[in-house]
Amino acid sequence: MEGRQGSDETLNSLVEIQQKLRKKLITKDDFPWKLPAKASSPSSSSSMQAEKGEEVLKYVGGVDMSFSKQDPSVACGYLVILELPSLRVVYEDCSLVKLRVPYVPGFLAFREAPVLLPLLDKMKKNQNPFYPQVLLVDGNGLLHPRGFGLACHIGVMANLPSIGIGKNLHHVDGLTQSGVRELLKAQENKVEDLINLTGDSGFIWGVAMRSTQGSLKPIFVSVGHRVSIYTAVVIVKMTCKHRVPEPIRQADIRSRDYLQKHQMSVLGGWDCSE
């Protein structure tokens, strides 16, 4: 009973932290750069497109984590920066760690953000010229039971425009996997390749989109911080060569490869995060 009470108190504390951070959340476009002139926007306005002499979106970051099959507490957090429009990787860094925070559904940020945020902090402290103008996160943003997923958490903590990319749907506000699948099926013969994820409350939590032609499984895009859902969709489309946007795809591939090659240093008792 005491253990359950302690667990409840811990979760309540985490909820309070999320609610406090959520007050700082910005869900509209709030950045100094413009989209490249060739970027197509789902909105009719072209005011987001860059003109000569203006700062243009060039460096898009992606973060992901991979976990050891032998010991799920051993993980590799990875950050990559891609250059637009080539999608060439211009920077990468990682952190191999022994996690001490268990995974609790709805509280992923408290397990992964402490690994991923230092990678961004390191770039900023070194005044790295490739520091991302926007960050794609392998995790949800607003599409979260309390409207504050990993992408929001990292975005607010780093004060960085961020976008959440989910591979699975959070069942919030009446949204269900089967319901979304039916809506997407109805879109198959139409030009649109995405649908709004509108809950029972009428709130739009994000979008489900087929990111590439012929893709059977959608990805779920939601606002992280300082980016509107419209801009988020444009950036995701700009960075997709496969189902998952390239910044996250590269972070995933490289984190799994690094973990496979170096995990014994942690499994053998050496924690390289210390």
CATH number at residue 151: 3.30.2170.10
Q: Which helix (H) or strand (E) element contains residue 75?
A: strand 74-83
109 in a structural domain: yes
170 in a structural domain: yes
The residue ranking higher by pLDDT, 159 or 264, is 159
20 in a structural domain: no
The residue ranking higher by pLDDT, 15 or 213, is 15
Mean pLDDT, the chain, whole residue set: 88
Predicted confidence (pLDDT) at residue 25 exceeds the cutoff of 70: yes
274 in a structural domain: no
pTM: 0.90
Predicted confidence (pLDDT) at residue 183 exceeds the cutoff of 90: no
Helices (H), the chain: 2-22, 109-125, 150-158, 177-186, 229-238, 246-262, 264-267
Predicted confidence (pLDDT) at residue 41 exceeds the cutoff of 60: no
18 in a structural domain: no
**pLDDT band per the 50, 70, 90 thresholds, residue 191:** low
CA nearest to 61, candidates 111, 149, 121 = 121
The residue ranking higher by pLDDT, 272 or 160, is 160
The secondary structure of 173-229, three-state, reads CCCCHHHHHHHHHHCCCCCCCEEEEECCCCCEEEEEECCCCCCCCCEEEEEEECCCH
Contacts of residue 159, defined as CB under 8 A and 6 or more positions apart, other chains included, come to: 225
134 in a structural domain: yes
pLDDT, one tens digit per residue, over 218-274 is 999 999 999 999 999 999 999 999 999 999 999 999 999 999 998 887 776 544 443
Identify the bridge partners of residue 135 per DSSP, sorted by sequence position.
61, 162
Q: How many domains does the chain have?
A: 1
65 in a structural domain: yes
The residue ranking higher by pLDDT, 141 or 178, is 141
Per the CB < 8 A criterion, the answer to whether 165 and 219 are in contact is yes
Range of the domain at 95: 26-267
13 in a structural domain: no
